């Protein structure tokens, strides 16, 4: 990376922090908010963008750290993942407190599909903290998905009140999942991805690590741990520039859930 000139009001030490966070794929807005929230010298996100573009003109590589947002187009045709799932409970019957994000322990789940449509990632997020859990499944069967969801959430079972998914047939074993976790399971309306907005947003971020054209048969536990660590340690504007990790851990500690805390530490250990 070729250095660009620093502005007179920002120290080289602060720019070093900015550059390090960019390498960790934080956005300029996240970096600016993080510095302000932690009493560090202020740098506006506009200044960070200017630095990135100046660095690019000078032949640097900071611009490669930016997360490119593509316009999503509605897809027509193809295989319909939806079907008749026995004993579905509509999101219309879900407690209002879930939509308000006023309670810790309400989760959303979905699948991120690999190239070839055969393998997938199970993605689960806690709505209040935006904390992410990810697991690889070699087959998109209801059995494999339910096994994975139960495995991911069992360490936090005391903090699982509800689960919400789309109508994909992969969630056909919802009663087994709900029964094992002692939670309520709800299904969003067909073609209403906004009803699971936090999960949809998280899946977009996950694609930064596992692109659409990537085949998932080569994904390792280390790859998943790395992605989870990066996602859960980025500050979020909606969290007052705290990280999902911070908010999630604070909630766990407030409930004196030592088992869940230990499980969390194990899950978020990122091998480098």
Q: Is pLDDT of 237 > 60? A: yes
| pLDDT of residue 39 exceeding 50 | yes
Q: Where are the domains of the chain?
A: 12-65, 91-250
Which H or E run contains 184?
strand 184-187
- Residue 187 to residue 67: CA distance in whole angstroms: 30
The mean pLDDT value for 109-133 works out to 93
Look up residue 135 and give its two tokens: 């697991």
Q: For residue 209, is pLDDT > 60? A: yes
pLDDT the model gives residue 261: 55
- CA distances (Å), 24 to each of 37, 177, 218, in order? 18, 35, 23
- The answer to whether 123 touches 134, Cβ cutoff 8 Å, is yes
Q: Tokens 């407030």 — which residue?
A: 254
- Strands 120-126, 132-137: pairing is antiparallel
> DSSP character for 153?
H
Residue 124: name the closest of 167, 163, 166, 176 by CA: 163
Alpha-carbon torsion angle 164, 167, 170, 171, nearest 10: 40
Supply the pTM of this predicted model: 0.70
Q: Round to whole Å and give the CA distance between 185 and 66.
A: 36
Alpha-carbon distance of 162 to 159, in angstroms, equals: 9
Q: How confident is the model at residue 213 (pLDDT cuts 50, 70, 90)?
A: confident
Q: Assign 219 to helix, strand or coil.
A: coil
Cα 238 to Cα 35, 71, 105, 241, 245, distances in angstroms: 15, 22, 18, 7, 14
Q: How far apart are CA 57 and CA 14, in angstroms?
A: 21
Which tens digit of pLDDT belongs to each residue from 241-252? 999 999 999 998
pLDDT digits (tens, 9 = 90+) for 42-60: 788 778 888 888 878 888 7
pLDDT per position as a tens digit, 186-206 = 999 888 878 887 888 888 899
Tokens 């509605």, residue?
74
Considering the segment(s) 91-250 as one domain, its CATH architecture is: 2-Layer Sandwich (3.30)
Q: What is the mean pLDDT of the chain?
A: 83
Token pair belonging to 268: 């978020």
Q: Please report where in the chains the tokens 């660095």 appear, as a residue.
A: 55
């Amino acid at each position: 990376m070729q250095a660009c000139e620093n502005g007179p009001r920002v120290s080289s030490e602060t720019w070093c922090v900015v550059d390090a966070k960019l390498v960790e794929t934080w956005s300029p807005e996240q970096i600016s908010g993080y510095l302000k929230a932690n009493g560090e010298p202020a740098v506006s996100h506009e200044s960070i963008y200017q630095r990135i573009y100046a660095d690019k003109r000078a032949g640097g590589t900071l611009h490669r750290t930016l997360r490119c947002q593509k316009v999503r187009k509605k897809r027509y045709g193809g295989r319909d993942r939806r079907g008749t799932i026995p004993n579905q409970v509509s999101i219309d019957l879900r407690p209002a407190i879930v939509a308000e994000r006023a309670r810790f322990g309400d989760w959303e789940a979905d699948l991120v599909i690999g190239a070839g449509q055969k393998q997938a990632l199970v993605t689960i997020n806690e709505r209040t903290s935006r904390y992410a859990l990810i697991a690889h499944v070699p087959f998109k069967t209801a059995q494999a998905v339910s096994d994975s969801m139960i495995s991911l959430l069992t360490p936090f079972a005391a903090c699982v009140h509800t689960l919400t998914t789309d109508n994909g047939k992969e969630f056909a074993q919802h009663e087994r999942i709900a029964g094992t976790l002692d939670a309520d399971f709800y299904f969003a309306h067909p073609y209403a991805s906004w009803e699971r907005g936090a999960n949809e947003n998280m899946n977009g971020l996950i694609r930064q690590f596992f692109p659409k054209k990537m085949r998932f048969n080569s994904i390792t536990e280390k790859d998943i741990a790395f992605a989870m660590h990066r996602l859960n340690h980025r500050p979020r504007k909606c969290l007052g520039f705290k990280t999902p990790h911070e908010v999630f851990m604070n909630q766990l500690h407030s409930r004196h859930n030592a088992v869940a805390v230990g499980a969390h530490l194990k899950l978020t250990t990122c091998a480098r």
